Structure 1
Amino acid sequence: MADGRERLLDSLDVALGAVDARYAAAYPGLGPTRQPVHTVYVPVDRYDAGTVLSWGAQARDTFSRYISGADDLAELIGVEPALARAVLPLVEAKLATEPIEDLRIDFEDGFPQSGIAPGARDADEDAHLVRAAEAFRSTPDPTPFSGIRVKCLEPAVRARAVRTLDMFIGELADDGCLPDGFVVTLPKVSAPEQVAAMVTVCEFLETTHGLTSPLRFEIQIETPQAVCGPDGTAQVAAMIHAAQGRCSGLHYGTYDYSAACGIAAEYQAMDHPVADHAKATMQVAAAGTGVHLSDGSTNRLPVGTADEVRAAWALHARLVDRSLRRGFYQGWDLHPAQLPTRYAATFAFYRRSFPSAAERIAAYSARTDSGFLDEPATARALTSFLHRGLGCGALTDAEVHEHAGITPDRLRALAGFGAQDGRFE
């Protein structure tokens, strides 16, 4: 009987071997690499070597001007005063040391070149590109993640997109190396063939500039055709696999997508039903692929009177928390004064659920009763939560070790990342 079972297993291995390999390649799962909590878009003509320091200073100034203390912060973002007292110093420290986690120099919508004659636009973009690349190299406060957003690959701007990418990488690459965490954002993608074409562009640039690491890119989902193609299928799923492992993230474009769906400007928002539908489709398509998800932005900026600033902050904090609860751990920020509520809402999200997550992981690891029947998949979700909280600075290694009772290596193993030395990447 055992021999028969062995023959059966051998035949199953033969029958399923190919699909096993395809599945493993297509769905490797998330790795331990840190995901930024936001991406800041700065138009190329407004970017210089002091941008990060300037944004941090503006954020701190606005925060100190309109927030009188922890109780005031608690009321603004809708949390308990005790939680706000823990969050407030973390936000202040973050704005002082790492105000921007991910910076994107924008050559697309943020750089319209209005008023410049069509024949002069190439020269204008080239000049800004060279200046921005030099500023990028010389910045005194580089961000952990960075990159550029080029124009899309639609016919009218395709040549310009490739020219900008080629020139910028040529200016930036140092002995074939780009900065760690460098990524290219490809906007207005509407078909998997455009993603495959971007792979060809990346291969060309790697050869041309002698790059030593693969060039990776993000896909912006801001056209309805990316969510529902002409044959009724979710094109975004095919896009991820057309990228051949180069796609690092899917970014939702709030306003382009909403406008294309016919939503009136007053009602275009991250929490509109058309946005939720698109993002749910993105979430299912990206599940298990290792591709990060990012929500979009709110264009309600914290400027004007004190009441106007605080109203915009309350909206921003609510939307950030809403995204986090729905599994979108990253978003866009468009103004320095959005940084305080980005971090306040993010840190509150992790610290609010930390005691429960730590208790459940401790019980799961020790095989004791926590009041929850947690299975391995839930344990991975809990440890991934702690991993993200550590990565952004909401939690510390000491806290996690004290309350969850596990080391960083054990946390990695439970999350499915495998044991590695040192802190989380």
Structure 2
Amino acid sequence: MGQQEKVATSLAGTVSEEISASLAPVDAELERRYPGDPGTRQPVHTVYVPGDAFAADTLRTWGDQALALLDEHAPDASSFAAVLGLADDLAEPVHSRVRAKLEREPIEDLRVDFEDGYGPRPDAEEDAAAARAARLIAEAYRNGTAAPYMGIRMKCMEAPVRDRGIRTLDVFLTGLMEAGGLPDGLVLTLPKVTYPEQVGAFVRLLEAFEKVHGLDAGRLGFEIQIETSQSILATDGTATVARMIQAAEGRATGLHYGTFDYSACLGVSAAYQASDHPAADHAKAIMQVAAAGTGVRVSDGSTNVLPVGPTAKVHDAWRLHYGLTRRALSRAYYQGWDMHPGHIPTRYAAVFAFYREGFEQAAGRLARYANRAGGDVMDEPATAKALSGYLLRGLDCGALDIAEVARLSGLTRADLEGFAAPRRGDLTAAAQ
């Protein structure tokens, strides 16, 4: 041990106390507005099924149709890899995991659609469809056949359809309550939001339902669909989407980009309406920054090019969807929409390839960080958070197994969760 250093200070202890007192409101504001990611599973996609088409066997039907498409157009690992351009070492693991996923859990998040995919119907017909959706979803959760997340997309809060949307939501939620209560995986989607006041009105609606049924305040959360230019930029030049998150009063769980409505709103020609259009990139970048740290997650949109017809056309559609999904993942959009059973093989292929091709490096880097072993990359706490989040997302969707991650990292899932969700003060202190 060397000579003990003499420590001297100049400031009175009251200086620190006064500064802390002056920043107390800011500290509280940071905790309220930026609680961080909730640490729960995020589905890799959302599937929309019209209210009149949703049935008790919808999930299984989608899985079976997706498997049939694979059998017909890419029956083995090598042919599937050739279509998508997968590396040789990924071909078999990705193909086998995609098939297993389609057999075990073909859909991670399903939304019964009462908006664009359903359209205007007689009130009695929509009432019956909403009640039926509630009954079928409640039954699915009871018998273990539900997707991890399920719910409805109602009509928006604009005047022409507002009453109809409110009634549909009421019928659906009341049906769930009468069938035994709200399932843990329940998700509600509010579309075509243009003003923060519409979000605030939806919050009041959910508060009213909670009070009627004696539910805990805040039990009902919801996603906000970003489908209009006004939801990105307000007339005063501010980012509307940031104000929407605050208007949700902690109930917002996600921001979902609506590829085609948003593109049309900006006048993009139909042939160029896609999730990789510059207008889409701009909107999603604003959404991403507005949501960062708030606990609200961002979802990409969809492609309307369907994998149907002869094999050559199916392969073209698969390559397009795979490429768009991989592009989204690299931009940290870990969720998207799928519109057809033929999309889910390439959704899972893209997701599984993304996590499998990088997990060995991520696990190794995190292990070196955890053991303070150094290496050729100097990682910081924020990077450890990103590395563990990457591994956890891979585990949640089935791309990775905890045994192989533990073998390479020496870490348990609890260890990964600890690195993925440090407290704000822990990040600051560890970086110093």
Is TM > 0.5 for Structure 1 vs Structure 2?
A: yes
* Structure 1 residues 124-167: Cα deviation after superposition (integer angstroms, max 9, x where no partner): 21122222222223335211001100000001111111111111
Spell out the pairing of 1:380-419 with structure 2 (5 A cutoff): 380-416=385-421
* Aligned residue in 2 for 1:364: 369
* Aligned residue in 1 for 2:253: 248
Q: 1:109 aligns with which of 99, 113, 116?
A: 116
* Aligned residue in 2 for 1:215: 220
Give the % identical residues. 52
Distance 1:129 1:174 in 2: 13
Structure 1 residue 200: Cα displacement: 0.2
* Structure 1 residues 339-368: Cα deviation after superposition (integer angstroms, max 9, x where no partner): 100101100000011111011001111111
CA contact (8 A) 2:69 2:342 kept: yes
* Aligned residue in 2 for 1:422: none
DSSP 3-state at the match of 2:373: coil
CA contact (8 A) 1:104 1:148 kept: yes
Please tell me whether residue 163 in structure 1 is matched to residue 170 in structure 2.
no
Spell out the pairing of 1:141-290 with structure 2 (5 A cutoff): 141-174=145-178, 177-212=181-216, 214-290=219-295
Q: 1:62 aligns with which of 69, 79, 82?
A: 69
CA contact (8 A) 1:176 1:209 kept: no
DSSP 3-state at the match of 1:368: coil
Distance 2:373 2:10 in 1: 40
Distance 2:148 2:330 in 1: 24
CA contact (8 A) 1:297 1:333 kept: yes
What amino acid is the match of 2:147?
T
What amino acid is the match of 1:372?
V
Distance 1:25 1:12 in 2: 20
Q: Which moved more, 1:400-409 or 1:244-253?
A: 400-409
DSSP 3-state at the match of 2:116: coil
Distance 2:422 2:259 in 1: 32
Spell out the pairing of 1:286-305 with structure 2 (5 A cutoff): 286-305=291-310
Q: Which moved more, 1:261-270 or 1:366-375?
A: 366-375
* Aligned residue in 1 for 2:39: 32
What is the TM-score when the length of structure 2 is the normalising length?
A: 0.93
Distance 1:211 1:146 in 2: 19
* Aligned residue in 2 for 1:421: none
* Aligned residue in 2 for 1:334: 339
* Structure 1 residues 85-106: Cα deviation after superposition (integer angstroms, max 9, x where no partner): 1111111110001000001000
Distance 1:406 1:292 in 2: 26
Distance 2:170 2:359 in 1: 44
Distance 1:74 1:374 in 2: 33
CA contact (8 A) 2:138 2:183 kept: no
Structure 1 residue 5: Cα displacement: 3.4
Please tell me whether residue 45 in structure 1 is matched to residue 52 in structure 2.
yes
Structure 1 residue 305: Cα displacement: 1.0
Distance 2:116 2:106 in 1: 23
Supply the RMSD in Å over aligned alpha carbons.
1.5
DSSP 3-state at the match of 2:160: coil
Unaligned runs of 5+ in 1: 419-425
CA contact (8 A) 2:263 2:279 kept: yes
Distance 1:210 1:67 in 2: 52
Unaligned runs of 5+ in 2: 1-7, 424-432
Structure 1 residue 3: Cα displacement: 8.6
Please tell me whether residue 76 in structure 1 is matched to residue 77 in structure 2.
no
What is the TM-score when the length of structure 1 is the normalising length?
A: 0.94
CA contact (8 A) 1:173 1:211 kept: no
Distance 2:381 2:262 in 1: 37
* Aligned residue in 1 for 2:139: 138
DSSP 3-state at the match of 1:249: strand
Structure 1 residue 282: Cα displacement: 0.3
CA contact (8 A) 1:359 1:370 kept: no
* Structure 1 residues 382-402: Cα deviation after superposition (integer angstroms, max 9, x where no partner): 111001111111111111110
* Aligned residue in 1 for 2:18: 11
CA contact (8 A) 2:137 2:150 kept: no
